[in-house]
Amino acid sequence: MARDGCVSSLRRRLGRGKVSSDPAVLGLYVREPSGMVGDAWAVVFPEGENDVRVVLRECYRHGTPVFPQGSATSLSGNAVPGEGVVVSFERMNRVREVSVVDSLVVAEPGVRIDELNLELQRHGYMFPVDPASSSVATVGGAINNGAGGLRGAKYGTMRDWVLGLRLGLADGEESIIEVGCRTVKCRQGYDLTRLIVGSEGTLGLVTLAYLRITPLPEDTVYALAFYPGLDRLVDAFIDIKKSGLHPFMLEFMDAPTVRYASRNLSLPYEPRGDMLLVGVETMREASRRVLDTLVELLEKHGAITVVTAHGWREAEEKKLLAVRKNLFAGQASMTMERLAGRGRPRVMIEDIVVPPSRVPEAVRRIRGLAKRYGLTVFLGGHIGDGNLHPAVGYDASSPEEERRVHEWFLEVMRIAVDLGGSVSAEHGIGLLKKKGLLMELEARKSVKALDIMRSIKAAFDPKGILNPGKLLP
C-alpha cells in the first residue's frame, strides 16, 4: 500500500480542500461510540459522484483500503477505520427530490435522518426508520448498517424502505451502477438492493438512495407504564401484541436502568419500576377509544403508574420519551459511578433479536447469565420486534473484566440463536460480532453461506479494499 502516493494523488485530483491528513481532523473520524478506535492516513470529503469515482479509481490503483463513513454512530466496529483512507459523505447531503405521488424521496448519503424528516414533514410525509442517533445518523450510514429504531415494531428496518441505490464500485473501471428502482414493485433478477443494505460498506459506496416514504399518521396516542417486575411488563406486552392495536412503538427498560436514565431529568411523573413505552397510530375519531383500550391493557397487569399523551406534542411536553432516549446516558452514568473515577469506563451494548414470543425466556436467560458472570447488566430495547439491548458497564483497562465481558457478549448471542433469533438486529456485524455470525451459521448448518458471501465480496470488490476486515469472519 503506497500511503503517500495515494494521498498525494487524491489531493492533486480532488483539491486540498477535499483531503485532510491533519491529525486533529483525523481524530474525529477514527472512533465510534462503542469505544473502539482505529487509524487512518487521510479523510476524503467527496462532494458528488465524480469525486467518488476519483477516490475509488486512485485507491484501487494504489491498493489503498477505503473506509466509508456517515457519522460513525455504529456500535459494532463497522465504522472504525484501519490504515487507509476514510471517505466521509458529510458534504453529499442534499435531498434531491420528494414525490408524494410516487411515495418516494431521493437523497444523497450524507443527509441526516432527522433533516430528511424535516423536509418530508412539509409534504405531510415521513421516513419511518428512526435509529436512536437519528439527529446525526445519515441515510448512507443507515443503509450500510441496516438500521432500525423506535418505530421498528410497525415499520421494520432499512431493508423495508430502500427501493434503489446508485453505487460506486472498486473495480478499477470507475463503475457507478444503479440497482433497484423508483417503484415499489421491481424485478431485476437478483435483488442487489437488499444485498447492499446491511453490507457495511464492504461491497460499494452508496452515492444516491431512492427511499420509500409514508404519510404522517393522522393521530397518535402514547402510554408510559411502570411495573413492579419484568414478568408483569412482559405479560402486558404480550397482551398488547394480541390485541390487534399494532403499536408502532413498544420500548422497555428495566428498573435499575430507569433509575439511572432518569437522573437529572425533571419529570412530571415518578420513574419507578420497569418501564414500558407504547405508541399507537390511529384515526382522530378513534384515538380516545384506542387510548382507553391501551390503558386498560396496561393496568390489567398491575402497572404502578400509567401516564398518557394524545399526540406527539403532548408526549414531548409530558416527557414520555425522555427516559428511553436517555438509555445510553443512564448506562454510562451507572458505569462511571461504579468505577468512581478509576480505570477506563466503557459500556458494551448487545444487539440481539428473538421472536417476540420468546422475549420472556430471553430476558430470564440474560438475567441468569449476568449472575453467572458476576456482571451488572442493564436491560432495555425494542421489545415490540424482539430486539433487545442488554448492556454491561465495565473497566476496559482491566484484562480480567474485558475477558468476562466479551465472554458474556458471546453468550448473549448464543441465547438469541438458541431461541430462533439472530446475533444482530440493527447494529451490524462489524468487528465485534464476527464470531457470533459464525456461531449462528454453524447452528443453522449454513456455514456454506460464508463461502457465498466471500464470492459476492470478490465480485464487487476484487482487491478487497472496501472496509476490509468487517462483517465476514
231 has a pLDDT exceeding 80: yes
pLDDT at res. 166? 98
Categorize the per-residue pLDDT at 463 as very low, low, confident or very high, splitting at 50, 70 and 90: very high
β 85-88/66-69 pair status:
parallel
Percent of the chain with pLDDT over 90: 85
- Can you give the length of the chain in residues? 473
pLDDT at res. 435? 97
pLDDT at res. 331? 75
Categorize the per-residue pLDDT at 436 as very low, low, confident or very high, splitting at 50, 70 and 90: very high
pLDDT at res. 358? 92
pLDDT at res. 110? 98
pLDDT in tens, 2-52: 677 999 999 999 999 999 999 999 999 999 887 889 999 999 999 999 999
69 has a pLDDT exceeding 60: yes
Categorize the per-residue pLDDT at 342 as very low, low, confident or very high, splitting at 50, 70 and 90: confident
What three-state secondary structure class fits 429? Answer: coil
> Which structural domains are found in the chain, ordered by start?
3-90 (3.30.43.10), 95-215 (3.30.465.10), 219-325 (3.30.70.2190), 342-458 (3.30.70.2740)
β 219-227/162-168 pair status:
unpaired
Q: Quick one: average pLDDT of 390-407?
A: 92
Pick from 274, 261, 397, 275: nearest CA to 333? 261
Alpha helices for 63-180 (secondary structure H): 113-121, 139-145, 152-155
Question: Which one has a higher pLDDT value, 66 or 344?
Answer: 66
| Cut 0.75: pTM above it | yes
pLDDT at res. 2? 63
Categorize the per-residue pLDDT at 1 as very low, low, confident or very high, splitting at 50, 70 and 90: low
CA dist., res. 44 & res. 40, Å (int): 11
Copy the grid coordinates of residue 69: 463513513
Pick from 156, 63, 41: nearest CA to 465? 63
Pick from 394, 408, 406: nearest CA to 343? 394
With contact defined as beta carbons under 8 Å apart, do 44 and 88 qualify? yes
Q: Quick one: average pLDDT of 168-191?
A: 95
On average, the pLDDT of the chain sits at: 94
Q: Quick one: average pLDDT of 54-69?
A: 97
314 has a pLDDT exceeding 70: yes
Q: What one-character-per-residue DSSP string does 175-228 give? A: -EEEEE-SSSS---SS-HHHHHTTSTTSS-EEEEEEEE-EEPPSEEEEEEEEES
